[in-house]
Structure 1
Amino acid sequence: MMSNATPTEADEDVLQYPAPSPVVHYGEQALLGALLLVPEQLKTIGPLEPEHFANTAHSALFAAMRTVSPPTPEVHRTSPVWPNQLLDAARPQARTLTASYLHTLISICPTDAHAPAYAHMVRSGHARRVLRQHADLLAQAARAPGPGPAEAVLTRSDELATYLVELVTAFPSHPGSMPRTSEAPRPTAERSAEAEDDERMLLATATAHPGELLRMRWLHEGDFTNPLHAALFTSLTALARSGAPVDPITLLWEAQQKGLLRDGPGPAEILDLLTYPVGAPEHWGQKVVQRALLRQAVAVADRIAALTADEATSVHQLAIGSRRTLSALSAVRRRWHEATGSLPRTPPPRQAAVSLPPPVTRGSPAARANPGPRAPARSGR
């Protein structure tokens, strides 16, 4: 017979969340309560996997439901065979799971007839968490030191794009499909000594070889981290494209005409910046556009993270908003391919599986229901 033992005070501390439970947590509880009450509802909830649950004890309990054959309806109505079997099967993965918590799950569920709706909540919560993981992995690739950061960013970007296609297919559109989350402020480029040096070398070599600028249309003013460098690049490009004479003195004159010396460095500092070319403009330009690619990847990841943090945003809205955000990165990556002479990647197959680390779960294996237990669920049959 199913035990009615009450957890000890120490168990209560383990079972409760350290922070207020998210709404999807109650959806997980209601779904499991419905399935405990009426095992036949497993046939109505659609595609659902144990990893779709955020709570480890809930995941273990649902995995047991998928593997343990439920008793006949007649046996289930008169004996707690089903809950006891599930408890025995789930405890190796969730040792703090108790019989009293299964009673709590049943009492939390308003009616088993709504099990498909609860399952949809669980799938939505999982989709939100996985999308956030993709965003975090993209940001991590952009910030990680080491050789070939652009390739790592492109790989993560392709994985994110594939997952967004899956979300749009799995979660249909509805009125108001565009996300309502406020746009994040435009990111400011972080200036560093390395970035400053690369941009100075680009300006010096381009001033010495202005003809090569005509073949570097893939480099934009917005790729620079230093506003003065960006303005000098714009002036230099205009001179080269108009066929005007280009050297440090003519560029200095152009900078003065555009007011760049008004509140910035003096003429001697500008000349010093332009006078010592090393290497080729294309080499330094590639470094500048790669840095812009990484910077845009971080901005995309931050925006998607902000969308997933807004729980009022539906999964379809998340997918649409994230795809629009990702298009900004696609524009920079096209220029990166032009700069490096590499061929754009073939989009990954629509059904391609994306390997991700396990979903981030809450710290405790099972959560104490809050608010407290209600009246037992009413069967919808």
Structure 2
Amino acid sequence: MSHTPEPDDDYDLDLDAGAPPQPVFHVEQALLGALLLDPRRLGDLTGITADSFSTAAHTAVFAAISTLPPPAPDEHVKNATWLDLVLTTARQQARGLTASDLHALVQVCPWPRHAPAYARMDEAEHARRRLAAAADRLAHTVHDASLPDPVQTVLTEADALATVVDDIAARFPPRAGALPRTPAPPPPAALGYMEAIEEERLLLATATAYPAGIEAVPWLLPGDLVVPLHAGLWQCLTALARRQEPVDPVTVLWEAQQRGLLDDGSDPGEVLQMLAQPAASVEHWAERALQRSLLTTADHTAQRITACAGDLTNTPFQLVVGTRRALADIGAVRTRWQHATTPVPPPRPAPTTRAGPPTTTVAHTARPVRAAR
């Protein structure tokens, strides 16, 4: 095996020369070293591919090992012919790879027979990276202002993330202590916060002016509104409508006082003024609020999954549990969104009454009563 270094050597077995590599880097080295020492061990591995490795160089070496025919065991211990083929093939993807690098992989492998255990560890880390990448795509979609249909695109990414989770769950069965230990990050600020404030004001004012519209939006919850006072006022409106009591700015203000919503120093006059400026329809502003709630929930879900995936103490199944719990929040808002945006089918016409069958027998006539003799 040639030891001549390349003048354009751009390969480094380390991920970052300025920081020590993570444990998975050493696991990958041990796995590749085991396969270089005993290529037959490749047949003992399941669920691992070239994409399972964290560096381009490791990926290239594994791809070469897995595509080249394994050497005869007795020949492999006598010469480095097969290792030369691995080096030549791998350098098509990692041109800076040298013979010394392959020697280093061999030297760091403790036991070649432990290759399946190394592969399982590498697969677990690959699962972590897959989840992190899927969560990053979800977060990117949430913040992409150029999307013509942001909700549908976000839901598609959420479904793709769920597919990744299902695949990981199939590979890693449940274990004890499945709950992730990673603390959840704080909820993010609502998307378009200033715009949300104005739209929520219009929602409350329009619902006050046209309380009949409140019944048409049962899918909107107080938690969908970003301002606590607005959420409380929506509760006042829905309570008054449910009790069939008069609804106007004054009755809503009184209900707000009864619920303690003005205890934070809110100016009653400003509340009255806000409730007196309706526009458009209740359904329009409610749907806008629900859409923002769904996107904000998706953003928080992505952050939670990213935090779990970044916590190296979590096992693959803990990642599955944590991710599914986070996705359940999107699912809850998604159900209400579908209810809000699904057209109501027109009522079915009442069936027409069919005429009875025609009478084919002659009506019987009453027999004459014989006179008594």
TM norm. shorter chain > 0.5? yes
Kept after mapping to 2: 8 A contact 1:7/1:100: no
> Which residue identity is paired with 1:274?
L
Q: Which deviates more from structure 2 when the two are superposed, residues 138-147 or residues 125-134?
A: 138-147
Residue 3, structure 1, aligned to residue 8, structure 2? no
Q: Distance in 2 between matches of 1:331 and 1:94?
A: 46
Q: Distance in 1 between matches of 2:281 and 2:287?
A: 10
| Identity level (%) | 45
Residue 246, structure 1, aligned to residue 247, structure 2? yes
1:131-280 aligned at under 5 Å gives the runs 131-146=131-146, 147-187=148-188, 189=190, 192-280=193-281
Q: Which residue of 2 aligns with 1:127?
A: 127
Give the superposition deviation at 1:70. 2.4
Q: Distance in 2 between matches of 1:119 and 1:15?
A: 18
Kept after mapping to 2: 8 A contact 1:15/1:96: no
Q: Distance in 2 between matches of 1:95 and 1:246?
A: 75
Residue 97, structure 1, aligned to residue 97, structure 2? yes
Label 1:119 to 1:235 Cα distance change in 2 as closer, same or farther (>3 A): same
> Which residue identity is paired with 1:141?
T
Q: Which residue of 2 aligns with 1:371?
A: none
Give the superposition deviation at 1:259. 3.3
SS at match of 2:102: helix
Give the superposition deviation at 1:342. 6.4
Q: Which deviates more from structure 2 when the two are superposed, residues 109-118 or residues 209-218?
A: 209-218
Kept after mapping to 2: 8 A contact 1:5/1:100: no
Q: Distance in 1 between matches of 2:170 and 2:259?
A: 51
The Cα offsets for residues 223-266 of structure 1, whole Å up to 9 and x where unpaired, read as: 11111111111111111110110011221222233333343442
Give the superposition deviation at 1:308. 0.6
1:324-343 aligned at under 5 Å gives the runs 324-341=325-342
Q: For the pair shown, which has the larger CA radius of gyration, 1 or 2?
A: 2
> Which blocks of at least 5 consecutive residues in structure 2 are unaligned?
345-373
Residue 24, structure 1, aligned to residue 24, structure 2? yes
Q: Which residue of 2 aligns with 1:51?
A: 51
Kept after mapping to 1: 8 A contact 2:11/2:94: no
Q: Which residue of 1 aligns with 2:106?
A: 106
Label 1:162 to 1:152 Cα distance change in 2 as closer, same or farther (>3 A): same
SS at match of 1:78: coil
Q: Which residue of 2 aligns with 1:351?
A: none
> Which residue identity is paired with 1:117?
A
Kept after mapping to 2: 8 A contact 1:203/1:274: yes
Task: Pick 1 or 2: higher relative contact order, CA cutoff 8 A, min separation 6.
Answer: 1
SS at match of 1:303: helix
Q: Distance in 1 between matches of 2:92 and 2:233?
A: 66
TM-score (norm 1): 0.85
Q: Distance in 1 between matches of 2:58 and 2:204?
A: 59
Q: Distance in 2 between matches of 1:327 and 1:137?
A: 18
Q: Distance in 1 between matches of 2:89 and 2:183?
A: 46
Number of aligned residue pairs: give it: 341
Q: Which residue of 2 aligns with 1:358?
A: none
Kept after mapping to 1: 8 A contact 2:10/2:95: no
Kept after mapping to 2: 8 A contact 1:219/1:285: yes
Give the superposition deviation at 1:67. 1.7
> Which residue identity is paired with 1:161?
A
Give the superposition deviation at 1:5. 5.0
Q: Distance in 2 between matches of 1:38 and 1:311?
A: 30
Q: Which deviates more from structure 2 when the two are superposed, residues 179-188 or residues 278-287?
A: 179-188
RMSD value, Cα:
2.0
Q: Which residue of 1 aligns with 2:290?
A: 289
The Cα offsets for residues 27-66 of structure 1, whole Å up to 9 and x where unpaired, read as: 1111110011011111111232111111101111111112
> Which residue identity is paired with 1:280?
S
Kept after mapping to 1: 8 A contact 2:191/2:292: no
Q: Which deviates more from structure 2 when the two are superposed, residues 67-76 or residues 307-316?
A: 67-76
SS at match of 1:86: helix
> Which residue identity is paired with 1:64?
A
Kept after mapping to 2: 8 A contact 1:68/1:86: yes
Kept after mapping to 2: 8 A contact 1:179/1:313: yes
Label 1:13 to 1:50 Cα distance change in 2 as closer, same or farther (>3 A): closer
> Which residue identity is paired with 1:71?
P
